Amino acid sequence: MNAIEIRGLQKSYRVYQKKEGLWASLTGLFQREYNEVEAVRGIDLDVAQGEFVAFLGPNGAGKTTTLKLLSGVISPSGGEAHVLGHVPWKRENEYRRRFALVMGQKNQLWWDLPAQESFQLHQKIYRIDPEQFRRTRDELVDLLEVRHLLGQPVRELSLGERMKMELTAALLHSPEVLFLDEPTIGLDVVAQHNVQKFLKHYQAERKITILLTSHYMKDVVALCRRVVIIAQGEIKYDGSLAGIVDRFSGHKVLTLQFADGRMPGDLARYGDVLEIVEPKARLRVARSSIADVLSSVLANNTIEDVSVEDPPLEEVIAKMFAHTANEKKSEAVLPVETS
């Protein structure tokens, strides 16, 4: 059964065009010019119950806008979507009790109060049964190891601790669908890892549906089997993580370790030389010719060690984003992620 069904979803809005210079800002007093920005241009997507899906895309691709559309914060300019059978922008309380949105760059906890007071407020707003509220809260703070921080004002917490509290707050009403917008942004490696571990465990246990956007490949690698790539408001790829490399990169990275002082001078004939640190060399070789290159290298040199790898995921995706951005420049308006 699908938890999320999206058909032809569109969102466009107007932005005020500020002009450079003194005179222009003076005339701006009297007339404003607007540009129409298409943030989401017809997205189709199905997400099954219990899936953990990652949204990838460059800044301004429409990821956050899509999440906001699905949570009913904003209304679309066209298309349809159903989440758990509800149309999000009808904003029925029944629906609002069944999902949660966490945004890494924004906080919804009361800044000057201990997190437990904000939790109390959530209990009242979501009408969570007191007994169940206590159980859920205790379970969450124990899993996230922040129980000892419950009484501390949120402003005194570190970024990582605050994110854990945000997650707790969002999960108190046991949502069936969770939207995560860059939940690990700005966190250090340890905190990032902790949040990933928690999300993985929680999702596996509760079988909830999660949509995640992130700039950290590590999040995606650790959590999601399915990846959706959005650029310029359209879906460019939908499939497995490994499939991205197959699809968008025609190369492999070949690492060779030569016996002492035996490195040949003409490595370039095998492929693009990425790096040479004696006795190791890294080459980029077209996927189609990897077998030929390998046999030729092994036949002509004394090799101590060899490995063939896919290029790093980050690199492939960065290249793909850069490519789509170039494509984009030929069009008039660049979408701006305003949030």
Partner 1 sequence: MSHHPSYLGVFLTFARNSLIRDMTFRANFIIESISSVSWMIMNLGFYTLVYRKTTNIVDWDKYEFFVFIATTMIVNSLVQTFFMPNAQELSELVRTGGLDFALLKPIDTQFLVSLRRVNWSSLGNFVVAILLLAYALPRIDGWTLSIWHVLLYPLYIVLGVLILYSVMITLAATSIWLGRNQSLYDFWFYLTNFSRYPMEIYEGAWGTPLRQVFTFVIPILVVINVPARLLAKPLSSEFAWLGAFAFVATVLCLAVSRWVFKQALWSYRSASS
Partner 2 sequence: MIARVQTWWTILRICLEERLVYRGDFALGTLMRFLPIVTQIFLWTAIFAAAGSGKIEGYSREDIIAYYLLTMLARAFSSMPGLASGIARQVREGEIKKFLIQPIDLVGFMLLARIAHKVVYYAVAAGPFALVYYLCRSYFPGWPAPDVFAAFLLSLALAFAVGFFMEMTLGMISFWFLEVSSLLFVYMLFTFFFSGHMFPLEILPDPWRTIVDFLPFKYLAYFPAAVFLGKIEGDAMLFGLAVQACWALFFIVACRVFMHRGFHRYSGYGG
Binding footprint of partner 2 on the chain (CB under 8 A): 18, 21-22, 25-26, 28-29
Which stretches of the chain bind partner 1, using CB under 8 A?
11, 13-14, 16, 37, 39, 64-65, 68, 71-75, 77, 89, 91, 93-94, 96-97, 100-101, 103, 106, 108, 110, 112-113, 117-118, 120-121, 124-127, 129, 153, 337-339
Extract the tokens encoding 149.
């921080």
94, interface contact from partner 1, partner 2, none, CB < 5-8 Å by kind: partner 1
Closest to partner 2 by CB, 32 or 319: 32
Range 147-153, long-range pairs (CB < 8 A, 24+ positions) = 149/115, 150/114, 150/115, 150/116, 151/114, 151/116, 152/114, 152/115, 153/111, 153/112, 153/113, 153/114
25, interface contact from partner 2, partner 1, none, CB < 5-8 Å by kind: partner 2
Q: Which amino acid is at 216?
A: Y
In whole angstroms, the minimum distance from the beta carbon of 33 to partner 1 comes to 14
- Strands 251-258, 280-286: pairing is antiparallel
Q: Is the peptide bond preceding residue 279 cis, with omega within 30 degrees of 0?
A: yes
100, interface contact from partner 1, partner 2, none, CB < 5-8 Å by kind: partner 1
In whole angstroms, the minimum distance from the beta carbon of 5 to partner 1 comes to 20
In whole angstroms, the minimum distance from the beta carbon of 24 to partner 2 comes to 9
Closest to partner 2 by CB, 21 or 130: 21
Q: Which residues pair with 286 in a beta bridge?
A: 251
Closest to partner 1 by CB, 173 or 251: 173
Q: CA-CA-CA-CA torsion for 131, 140, 93, 184, nearest 10 degrees? A: 170
In whole angstroms, the minimum distance from the beta carbon of 20 to partner 2 comes to 9
Closest to partner 1 by CB, 72 or 160: 72
Closest to partner 2 by CB, 90 or 111: 111
Q: Cβ–Cβ contacts within 10 Å for residue 292, how many?
A: 12
21, interface contact from partner 1, partner 2, none, CB < 5-8 Å by kind: partner 2
22, interface contact from partner 1, partner 2, none, CB < 5-8 Å by kind: partner 2
Closest residue by Cα to residue 55 from 223, 242, 247: 223
Q: Which residues pair with 273 in a beta bridge?
A: 283
Closest to partner 2 by CB, 25 or 302: 25
Closest residue by Cα to residue 57 from 186, 182, 187: 182
- Phi, psi for 199 (deg, rounded to 5): -60, -40
